[in-house]
Structure 1
Amino acid sequence: MTAAGVRATARIGARDDGRGGTSLPVLEGEGPLALRRTRASGSEARVMLVGAMSGPLGGDHFTVEATVAAGARLHVGSAAATIALPGQAKGEARYDVLLDVAAGGELRWLPEQLISAGGSELYVSTRIDLEPGARLVFREEQVLGRVGEEPGRLTSRLTLRIGGRAVLDQELACGPGAPGGWDGPAVLGGHRALGQLVVVRPEFEREPVRARLLGESAALTPLAGAAALVTALAPDALLLRRVLDEALSSLG
């Protein structure tokens, strides 16, 4: 911890153990980013990210890295929601997520939601790099404000590259100080929960998904490189999760 806030990094490395399972030669967490291996499911290793402290707070910089080698299967979740809070240190907090999956590897990234509490400032950056032939399920859920409060300032950028080619690069800013119109009908339309689901499967190369609406406030969009994107809005986190779960089930 410094005067500018807490710096912490968590690293996960998964590889084929040669016996039909997945080993975790790298499982390291610092300070507020604790990692716990949980009961495996078949050949899939499971890891839980456990927040050991409140945060991120103003001035904090958290980084989570996950690398999945060929033949390995990794599922990453979190024990509870992440809450961005105002802190004593000035300036925005940062939360970086760096994910790399080799050909023949599979990553399911399914943490709980991120809540942007009133007065907080957080920049979230997620960079996903896949080799052709990798498989991915990535879920991101954000809730603007706790019950009865206005949200903090939240900026989120998601970048997906497959074989070094960018197939998705988007950024959204919400809350006080964000560009005008973020809460208007063209963006959030008054909703306070927003999420997306990125699914990458080699079979989508042969049979791309069909673009379609998934209810009133969700849509499925095909992307290049065997990928599909679901974007959704909802009045609360519970309904948002239901929409994203149904979307994932519809993809088979």
Structure 2
Amino acid sequence: MSLRAIARIAAEADGTLPVLVSDGPLALRRTRAAVPGWSRVTVVGAMSAPLGGDRLAIEAEVRDGARLRVDSAAATLALPGRTAEPAVYEVRLRAGSDAVLHWLPEQLVSAHGSDLRVRTGVDLAPTARLVLREEQILGRHGEPPGTLSSRLVVRRGGRPLLDQEIAYGPGAPGGWDGGAVLAGHRATGQLLVVDPAYEKTPVAARPLGELAALTPLAGPAALVTAVAPDALALRRILDEALEELTAG
């Protein structure tokens, strides 16, 4: 039987979490923040999900002046289910005036035979700041990937900042594994940093080594995209980019 679940988070500027609602496989736990003044929530998987046919969602609201970090205890593993219907995983994020949201989950692993559609929507106030990381691992060790499509839509002050969609695996448009996209790599990801400070001092477009690139976005924001041979190498690239972008 397919699952339907929606988990919800709301953070206030005083550090409280007036809404922290777990549902189904999406178990939310308040954890200790490393930085004073922040709230932190860790997503703990309570069961295997998403499976084919599942409909899962997480909603997070960072209210005016609040600072929230959301991470996860383990990777998300997309698996085939009893039905051929794809699984859907939605992430809905909202950050108010002077709010800060760090959305830093662990990797998403697309196992052979799975079919997952990920949809992430972000609405930011003009003075909000965001750090958002996405990492996809295409297949477990020694296996081909499942089918994975992921769309990220970000709005700032009601205006589009970023709208992109990617697809990998069987059924994806041709060329996804070619030299212009993955070039045989099985780990891919991106890091989006939205910060009003970039209006005065935008980042410069440049390569980050051989496997990643930094691109400034009108908005203002910075987008890092990367491929890598494995999850550890991908995380290293994105961590180094985040440290550079948030230095000072």
Q: TM-score range by the shorter chain?
A: over 0.9
Could you give the per-residue CA deviations for residues 176-208 of structure 1, whole angstroms, max 9, x where no partner exists? 111110000111111100000000111111101
1-structure distance, mates of 2:195, 2:159: 16
Do residues 28 (structure 1) and 21 (structure 2) align? yes
Of 174, 187, 192 in structure 2, the residue corresponding to residue 193 of structure 1 is 187
Equivalent residue for 1:13, pick from 10, 14, 34: 10
1:153-174 CA-partner distances (Å, limit 9, x unpaired): 0001011111111111111110
**2:12 partner SS:** strand
Secondary structure, aligned partner of 1:238: helix
Residue 44 (structure 1) aligns with: 38
Correspondences of 1:69-88 after superposition (within 5 Å):
69-88=63-82
**What one-letter code is carried by the residue in structure 1 that aligns with 2:27?**
A
User: 1:39: how far off?
Assistant: 1.1
Aligned residues: CA RMSD = 0.7
Q: Which residue of 2 aligns with 1:206?
A: 200
Q: Aligned partners of 2:13 and 2:235: how far apart in 1?
A: 31
Q: Any idea what SS the aligned residue of 1:24 has?
A: coil
CA distance in 2, matches of 1:131, 1:187: 33
TM-score by length of 2: 0.97
1:122-155 deviation line (CA, Å, top 9, x unaligned): 0001111101010111000000000000000000
Q: Deviation at 1:89? A: 2.3
Report matched runs for 1:87-106 at 5 Å: 87-106=81-100
For 2:223, give the aligned amino acid.
L
- Distance, in Å, in 1 between the alignment partners of 2:157 and 2:105 is 25
TM-score by length of 1: 0.96
Amino acid at match of 2:7: A
Aligned position for 1:107: 101
Residues 104-143 of structure 1 mapped to structure 2, 5 A cutoff: 104-143=98-137
Name the residue aligned to 1:221. Answer: 215
Which 10-residue stretch deviates more, 143-152 or 200-209? 200-209
Match of 1:68 in 2: 62
**After superposition, what is the alpha-carbon deviation per residue over 1:82-138, rounded to whole angstroms, capped at 9, x for unaligned?**
000001122100000001001200001111000000000000011111010101110
Distance 1:108 1:96 in 2: 17
Count matched residues: 245
Q: Is 2:173 the counterpart of 1:179?
A: yes
Amino acid at match of 2:170: P
Would you identify which runs of 4 or more consecutive aligned residues in structure 1 move more than 2 Å?
Answer: none
| Alignment deviations for residues 13-65 of structure 1 (CA, whole Å, 9 cap, x no partner) | 00112xxxx11000001110000001133000010001100010000010001
CA distance in 2, matches of 1:231, 1:203: 21
Name the SS for the 1:247 alignment partner.
Answer: helix
Equivalent residue letter for 1:202: P
- Where does the alignment leave 5 or more consecutive residues of structure 2 unmatched? none
Percent identity between the aligned chains?
64
Q: Which runs of 5+ in 1 are unaligned?
A: none
Q: CA deviation at 1:76?
A: 0.4
* 1:23 alignment partner, SS class: coil
Cα deviation, residue 224, structure 1: 1.1
